[in-house]
Structure 1
Amino acid sequence: MRPGLSALLVLGVTRVRLQRAEGRPWEVDTFSHHGAQEVVRFSIREVEVVNAGRYYCEYVKEGAASRSEPLELVVTGIFKNIPSLSAHPGPHVTTGGDVTLICQSSLHYDVFHLVKDGEIVFSQNCSHWNHSSCLISPVALVHEGSYTCYGASKQQPFLWSLPSKPLELSVTETNGLGQGYTHIVVGVLAGVVFILFFFLLLVLLCCRYQVKHDAALKDSQSGADGHTDTQVPTAEEPKEVIYAQLQREGFREDVDVPASCTTKEPCVYATLTLPGAQS
């Protein structure tokens, strides 16, 4: 069966032709149509490098010409260096996980193209896309399939290399209960971490308060001791006190002891009588 391009014609189309978007328009076929809806097929007898490019259908309906959306025709096998395709962390993943498809080659290619089950995987289908890798996150059952990659250059974007060996990506659906249990465990761990952090913060604040309190108490005690030393006089040794009482009339047997000698201080008391004082 010859390769070709197909166009689905709507009612009312009276004329259609296929043209290339790049360079000089290449009219593959032109014919008249009588308004019935059908599929028109444009055959290419032998695909060559010159057939690669962007195509569109130009058709006439009710006297007005219109153009279809462009179609890119890619010719593969131009570059013989075969790239390799791998999956990280592996080709067997579960739903909700992450997987990165990596395309590599010993020959430098400007662009790598990823194909899944014969359909091109565009960059918007990847969570993150760069020169040679496609991150799929989160993985779903629709991502399961056979993947291959091709290398190409920026100067000739429609000429690709030979395909890599197919990579079978297997996706296993996880149990909903397991996912719920995982969420519960994560929530509990987060709560425990928060409580520990709060407890450590409380201990730190208490320690700081205790240190400040002890320092203030020590300063107050030092101030009180210094004030007492300045106010209270140093005790002195008791001194002896001698009292003498002179009597004119003579010695008396009973003499009142001065009140000052009743203290605990030692004292000596004597009564003297002057001889010339008798009357």
Structure 2
Amino acid sequence: MSEASNRRVAIVTGASGGIGRASAERLAADGMTVVAHYAGNRARAEETVAAIEEAGGTAVALGADVADEAQMTALFDRTTELYGGVDVVVNTAGVMVLAPLAEFDLDQFDAMMRTNVRGTFVVAQLAARQLRPGGALITFSTSVERLQQPTYSAYAATKGAVEALTLILARELRGRDVTVNAVAPGPTATPLFLDGKPQQVIDHIASLAPLERLGTPDDIAETVAFLAGPGRWVNGQVLYVNGGIA
């Protein structure tokens, strides 16, 4: 059997940038073969693949809508066809729209629910069916669940749903030797967080953590790598990764 066929295989959704890319590169550095999922930006996903390959890893970019079960089933099937199975699934794909609840556009709410909740459900369902023994599913919540900041009500509501399905799925997979956990980042220096915020606001938010800085995608990826690898006794948990901000 070749060395490549002995590698664990990870699917990382939203791997075209931010936390997804950092997670994909970190898992590849741990020796995993990585499927870098993208929704619309193939070029950026290919950049993730190129970075992994330049570092000596193995990766491929595959596109799909996380909320479309047929497209995601095809992505999982293609992964198995290429690499023999799936061991780790990291679902970083998500969108964030902010506004006070009383003013929130319901079309935007529905779109965010589709990606964040239905998308997580579709990915988790496929992971539950296909992850091999010793596998791990890692979903993404948010530290706003604790911070309760104004304008985050709709976004936090989607992540509350993610936490609920994550914690229950961990119990449903009894006997499978598969862990299921959620990572809940605090303010992290990604385009999703930084876009549209004045520097003064960014500096203030950074000052709230005892470590007095924003998180980085690499900070979050370290926790992903722990849950995907050595953290086998952590199961059915939400890990708040926020530098002590809450």
TM-score surpassing 0.5? no
Looking at secondary structure, tell me which structure has more strand per residue: 1
Query: Of the two structures, which has the highest relative contact order with CA contacts closer than 8 Å and spacing of 6 or more?
Result: 2
TM tier, shorter chain? Answer: under 0.3
Q: TM-score w.r.t. structure 2 length?
A: 0.22
Is the radius of gyration larger for structure 1 or structure 2? 1
Looking at secondary structure, tell me which structure has more helix per residue: 2
